[in-house]
Chains A and B, each alone.
Chain A
Amino acid sequence: MTSSPDAHLEIRDLVVQRGGVTVLEISSLDIPRGLVTVMIGPNGSGKSTLLGALQLVLHPSSGSLLLDGERMDSDPVGTRRRMAAAFQEPLLLSMSVQSNVELPLRLRGVNRQRRRELAEHWLQRFGIASLARRHARQLSGGEAQRVSLARAFASQPEVLLLDEPFAGVDAPTREGLLEDFAEIVSETKPTTVLVTHDRDEALRLGDHAALLIGGGLRQTGPPAEVFERPADRAVAEFVGMENVWPGQRSESGVYRAGGVRLASTSKSVALGAPATLCVRPERIVLSRDGDGSGNQLQATVRAVRPRGPVVRSNLTSGRLTLTADVPVATWDELRLSVGDEVTARISPADVHVIEDSD
């Protein structure tokens, strides 16, 4: 197997078993140098297992992990010292913030003066310089996570392994932390593997995405493509394609699903061939009167659920069930309620077609 020239980490024929059961199996995956690769997938898909294997704290049953073409397990301590990790839990030790940030450097034998300089720099960068002397136990969740990230960056790692580091903090804190993190990563460009459940986080931070389901790699590519153009039905369901309809091609660029005709600019399948049609809920536009462009479906509102900035509405059109996320402001203008008739407009570019294999 040849490695791509910009691959910093290479995963080859990796199998991890627990209690005799295979929990992760990846034949080949390259992690590009200096970019953020987001690992996405449902619970139990093997994301954290993969991160554990990359940290060399989980031992694969077979396969190899390469860093710059060298086997990572040939010198575990040396390899780990080229990397840093941060998790959903900040995992700080019972010492001051400054000592926590200096610790990886201390373990590497860096002298006191240099340790102090680097720790001060990174505490400053993460906006927590004023907390330097505070004990780790006296921090809020958001502060502790900033310390955890400052500690990871302080060791100037070539590879950064992050397991949902933004998941445990409240929304406003998370927003600020994400902003700072994005800025720092784009400046320092460590090769980053970020495990996340969050679509916004993946789209905002990721240069590259790898999607795992059931311990196997199902799709790789730019995050937007993975979310908008899922490779199969399981991926579509995981990435939040709430509208997944079985259908078949009836003519060029036109499909039928549930008795409804839908045009799509997605890749074509053979005439009459079964296909799965997918539409993201935020891509369905509701209006009282159609405007004549794209796919126009006459639908009836069946259920309504407010979901923060959007209103999720369930509709039926023919035998199709549609789920649409309508911005609250639009919803208020439409003054819709259950039982109302609406036009659901879907651009052909937003109808993604998956060729059914059987």
Chain B
Amino acid sequence: MDLIWDGIREAARLWWAGDREIIEITLRTLAISSAATAIALLIGIPTGAVLALRRFWGRGLIVAAVNTGMGMPPVVIGLLVALILWRTGPLGDLNLIYTPTAMVVAQFLLSLPLVVGFSLASIQSVNPRLIGQMWAMGANRMQVLWLLVRETRLGLLAAVMAGFGAAISEVGASMQVGGNLAGETRVLTTATVLETGRGNFEVAIALSLVLVVLAFLVNLVLTAVQQRRPVT
């Protein structure tokens, strides 16, 4: 019990003192996970919309793959990205292994199925006749997509939360493709694993609390947007 209390006290001290390393790691975590989530949203929402609205050969297979991807273990994604970006791998010449970019790629691949899956479910729940009315009002493809996003914003914000949650909380893939290099690819999850391994539980608890508070704050903002009473 003392260990936990000591950890919480140390966490409070580090926060209070504005520990530079913790701030850096926190900002890096936020930047990598936000970038991965943003790319997943850009690609995932239109993909979810197409899967929801169109019937084509192989659609069932893609939806099954998306559903499988929603529960994909991060270490499998990490291994896949590591193999591709490894020095001797197909994209080894890009020298991306053990860089923040590689971590963005891995986290993007983890978030993408969640964003596609949530978007697909949200958009599929829209009354098909309402979509017909959007076309009848003279909307073009992009405008229909915009109206669908607007109409399903509650579900899509759940997609954002799920995608960001998956990205910021994963550790295996980040370790595999980022390498947990100090000052370069160390993020809150990998740093927590490292400090736990070293027996520095106070620091590990401090990092974990930062991670939890960060995830909570981001979700608090998204929830506030989601639950806000629409005016226009």
- A81 contacts which chain B residues (CB < 8 A)? 138
A135 partner, pick from B129, B140, B230, beta carbons under 8 A: B230
Q: Is the CB of A84 within 8 A of B129?
A: no
Residues on A lying within 8 angstroms of B by beta carbon are 52, 55-57, 77, 80-81, 83-85, 87, 89, 91, 93-96, 98-99, 103-104, 107-108, 135, 151, 155, 161
Q: Which residues of A contact B136 (CB under 8 A)?
A: 55, 57, 80, 83-85, 161
Decide: B232 and A104 in contact? CB cutoff 8 A.
no
Provide the residues of chain B in CB contact with A80, threshold 8 Å: 135-138
Which residue of B127, B137, B231 contacts A103 across the interface (Cβ within 8 Å)?
B137
Interface centre among B132, B133, B139 (most CB of A within 10 A): B133
Q: Of all chain B residues, which has the CB nearest A151? A: B137
**B143 at the A/B interface (Cβ < 8 Å)?**
yes
A99: chain B residues within 8 A (beta carbon): 232
A94 contacts which chain B residues (CB < 8 A)? 150-151, 230
- B133 to A85, Cβ gap below 8 A? yes
The distance from the CB of A308 to the nearest CB of chain B, in whole angstroms, is: 31
Task: Output the least CB separation between A148 and chain B (Å).
Answer: 9
In the complex, the answer to whether B143 meets A55 with C-beta atoms within 8 Å is: no
Q: Is B130 an interface residue (CB 8 A)?
A: yes
Is A96 touching B130 in the complex (CB atoms < 8 A)?
A: no
When chains A and B are docked, how far (Å) is the Cα of A96 from the Cα of B137? 17
Which of B138, B140, B147 makes the CB contact (< 8 A) with A93? B147
Residues of A within 8 A of B133 (CB): 85, 87, 91
| B127, B132, B137, B231 — most chain A CB neighbours (10 Å) | B137
For the complex, give the distance between the alpha carbons of A56 and B129 in Å: 14
Query: Residues of A contacting B132 with CB < 8 Å?
Result: 52, 55, 57, 91
CB distance from A329 to the nearest CB of B (A): 43
- If the complex has contacts A95-B230, A96-B232, A99-B232, are A77 and B138 also in contact, measured as CB distance less than 8 A? yes
- Do the beta carbons of A107 and B129 come within 8 Å of each other? no
**Cα-based distance from A16 to B130 in the complex (angstroms):** 22
Q: How distant is the Cα of A108 from the Cα of B132 in the complex, in angstroms?
A: 17
- Beta-carbon contact of B138 and A87 below 8 Å: no
Interface of A is mostly: mixed
A107 adjacent to B130 (CB under 8 Å): no
Inter-chain CA distance A89–B151, complex, in Å, is 17
Q: Is the CB of B140 within 8 A of A77?
A: yes
- Contacts of B147 on A, CB cut-off 8 Å? 93
Chain A proximity of B65: nearest CB distance (Å): 28
A109 to chain B, nearest CB (A): 10
Q: How far is the CB of B96 from chain A (nearest CB, A)?
A: 42
Q: Are B232's CB and A91's CB within 8 A?
A: no
Distance in angstroms between the alpha carbons of A108 and B232 in the assembled complex: 19
B132 to chain A, nearest CB (A): 5
Name the B residues within 8 Å of A52 (CB-CB).
132
What's the nearest-Cβ distance from chain B to residue A151, in Å?
Answer: 8
Rounded to whole Å, the gap between the CB of A112 and the closest CB of chain B is 12
Separation of A77 and B144 alpha carbons in the complex (Å): 11
Taking a contact as CB atoms under 8 Å apart, the answer to whether A95 and B232 are in contact is yes
Q: Shortest distance in angstroms between B136's beta carbon and chain A's nearest beta carbon? A: 4
> Given the complex, which residues of B lie within 8 Å of A108, measured CB to CB?
138
Which residue of A has the minimal Cβ distance to B229? Answer: A135
| Least distance between A344 CB and chain B CB atoms (Å) | 46
How far is A55 from B137 in the complex, measured between Cα atoms in Å? 10
A60 and B150 CA atoms in complex are apart in Å by 31
20 additional contacts (CB under 8 A) given A57-B132, A77-B139, A91-B127: A55-B135, A80-B137, A80-B138, A85-B133, A87-B129, A87-B133, A89-B129, A91-B133, A93-B150, A93-B151, A94-B151, A95-B230, A95-B232, A96-B231, A96-B232, A98-B232, A107-B138, A107-B139, A135-B231, A155-B138
The 3 A-B residue pairs with the shortest CB-CB distance, nearest first, are A81-B138, A85-B136, A91-B133
Bound Cα distance A56, B140 (Å): 13
B 15-36 to A, binary, CB cutoff 8 A, 1 in contact else 0: 0000000000000000000000
The complex places the Cα of A135 from the Cα of B150 at a distance, in Å, of 15
9 contacts between A and B (CB under 8 A): A52-B132, A77-B139, A80-B136, A84-B136, A85-B133, A85-B137, A95-B150, A104-B137, A107-B138
Known: A96-B232, A107-B143, A135-B230. A91 touches B129 (CB 8 A): yes
Contacts A91-B127, A96-B232, A99-B232 given; does A155 touch B135 at CB 8 Å: no
Contact between A91 and B130, CB atoms less than 8 A apart:
yes
Q: Are A107 and B230 in contact (CB under 8 A)?
A: no
- Closest A residue to B133 by beta carbon equals A91
Report A-chain residues with C-beta under 8 Å of the C-beta of B150: 93-95
CA distance A55 to B150 in the complex (A): 23
Interface centre among A57, A80, A91 (most CB of B within 10 A): A91
Chain B, residues 106-146, CB within 8 Å of chain A (1/0): the string is 00000000000000000000010110110111111001000
In the assembled complex, which residues on chain A have CB atoms less than 8 Å from the CB atom of B231?
96, 135
Q: How far is the CA of A55 from the CA of B134 in the complex (A)?
A: 11
- Residues of chain B with a CB closer than 8 A to A85's CB: 133, 136-137
